[in-house]
Amino acid sequence: MEYREFYNGVKIPMLGFGVFQIPEYEKAKQAVLSALKVGYRLIDTAQAYGNEKAVGEAIRESGIPREEIFITTKLWIQDFSFDGAIKATELSMERLGVDYIDLMLLHQPMGDYINAWKGLEKLYQEGKLKAIGMANCYPHVLADLCETFEIKPMINQVEMHPFFQQQTNLAVMAEYNVIPEAWAPFNEGKRDFFTNPTLTEIGKKYGKTAAQTALRWNIQRGVVVIPKTIHAERMKQNFDVFDFTLSQEDMEKIKAMDIGHSEIVNHFDPSWIKMLHTFSF
Ligand SMILES: NC(=O)c1ccc[n+]([C@@H]2O[C@H](COP(=O)([O-])OP(=O)(O)OC[C@H]3O[C@@H](n4cnc5c(N)ncnc54)[C@H](OP(=O)(O)O)[C@@H]3O)[C@@H](O)[C@H]2O)c1
């Protein structure tokens, strides 16, 4: 496994396992158990995914020591206040069955995220959160937060894949020493991702699939990736990306695939923002 290190010295594996869209208890638990068996040691969940309890149960059942597993979870907008963030974090710890969380994120920079962040800062200083970060920050928002917060975000988890590469965001993250993490590293399968001719052709040269090529490309850009799958074979495939290196020429070919915007979410659409504010789980 390769790692990136936050500015506070905490290390995060460059490849983790995401559990979005697996709300069913047994299904989520089995998926995490399988992923841990394959070798994944970073699990990315969120309060909004409704599966923190299953993640915690799988971790305990795996028998792997707690300190060998890196748990990320996220708080949703309705808990964004100083007290709300503290209470919600305690609930996450209870559901996960842990006495600390490796990385806590604010899921969106919306609502009263300034005071929620202050709550996270307190928990970080108390050692209950080993690292704190943001998700879904566009470059100007991230720059503003880094200029505002006392403790700067250690990570920014945003959508990043060959069709939406976020070069400006990466530059801002580099400037403020924020580690980039890619959600939907496969564009959630959109645009026939897994049979894309460019990714497939490049992958063939290294004996790899389009999925593996896309993960390797992000890892080579220094981006932490957290692909999701419920299939054990795909978990293995997605994990097998550390025995090859894409050439500069191939990196450039993938760079040319960028369409410069998301086709999954539209944070510039007011009705989308309203939906996020009223979303309940
Ligand atoms: N912070 C945020 O706002 C945010 C938003 C979205 C996601 N996330 C995090 O990022 C993680 C990953 O993103 P995502 O789940 O949205 O999308 P993704 O990882 O880009 O794509 C997941 C899809 O790809 C399929 N798949 C996975 N590996 C495959 C392979 N090797 N070959 C063919 N198909 C494959 C999966 O199908 P099967 O499961 O059927 O195999 C699933 O349909 C999430 O689980 C979550 O932890 C965060």
Q: Which domains does the chain have, with CATH numbers?
A: 3-278 (3.20.20.100)
- Does ligand 1 come within 6 angstroms of the Cβ of 236? no
> What is the amino acid identity at position 251?
M
Q: Report the pLDDT averaged over residues 40-66.
A: 98
Assess whether the C-beta atom of 164 lies below 6 angstroms from ligand 1: no
Cα(104) to centroid(ligand 1), Å: 20
Distance in Å, CA 149 to ligand 1 centroid = 31
Q: Pocket of ligand 1, candidates 20, 70, 164: which has the most ligand atoms within 8 Å of its Cβ, to mutate?
A: 20
Q: What is the mean pLDDT of residues 237-248?
A: 98
* Cβ-based burial of 138 (10 A; exposed 0-12, middle 13-18, buried ≥19): middle
Ligand 1 geometric centre to CA of 16 (Å)? 11
205 confidence band (pLDDT: 50, 70, 90): very high
User: Over pLDDT 70: what percentage of the chain?
Assistant: 100
**Cβ(39)–Cβ(239) under 8 Å?**
yes
Say if ligand 1 is within 6 A of residue 237 CB: yes
Copy the structure tokens of residue 152: 């700067």
* pLDDT value, residue 154: 98
CA-based torsion, 267, 251, 230, 57: positive or negative? negative
User: Which of 74, 106, 183 for a ligand 1 pocket mutation test, highest count of atoms within 8 Å of Cβ?
Assistant: 183
* Active-site hit among 3, 7, 25, 49: 49
Question: What mean pLDDT value characterizes the chain?
Answer: 98
Beta strands in the chain (DSSP E): 3-5, 11-13, 17-18, 42-44, 70-75, 103-106, 132-135, 155-159, 179-183, 224-225
Tokens of 199: 């990714």
pLDDT recorded at residue 151: 98
Asked if 134 contacts 142 with a C-beta cutoff of 8 angstroms, the reply is: yes
3 is catalytic: no
Q: Is the CB of 112 under 6 A from ligand 1?
A: no
Residues 48/104, Cβ–Cβ less than 8 Å: no
Under 8 Å between Cβ of 281 and 46: no
Mean pLDDT across 140-162: 97
Is the CB of 189 inside a 6 Å radius of any atom of ligand 1? Answer: yes
Q: Does the structure show a pLDDT above 90 at 188?
A: yes
- Percent of the chain exceeding pLDDT 90 equals 99
Residue 273, pLDDT above cutoff 90: yes
Q: What is the dihedral of CA 92, 94, 97, 98, to 10 degrees?
A: 70
Confirm or reject: Cβ of 156 under 6 Å from ligand 1. Answer: no
Q: What mean pLDDT do residues 38-62 have?
A: 98
Q: How many angstroms does the Cα of residue 218 sit away from the middle of ligand 1?
A: 15
Q: Which residue has the tokens 């993938």?
A: 254
Cβ distance 257 to 263 under 8 Å? Answer: no
Average pLDDT over residues 262-269: 96
When pLDDT is cut at 50, 70 and 90, the band that residue 280 belongs to is: confident
Position 249 scores a pLDDT of 98
The mean pLDDT of 84-113, rounded to a whole number, is 98
How close is the Cα of 122 to the center of ligand 1, in Å? Answer: 32
Cα 129 from Cα 106, distance rounded (Å): 13
Both tokens of 10, joined, read 């905490």
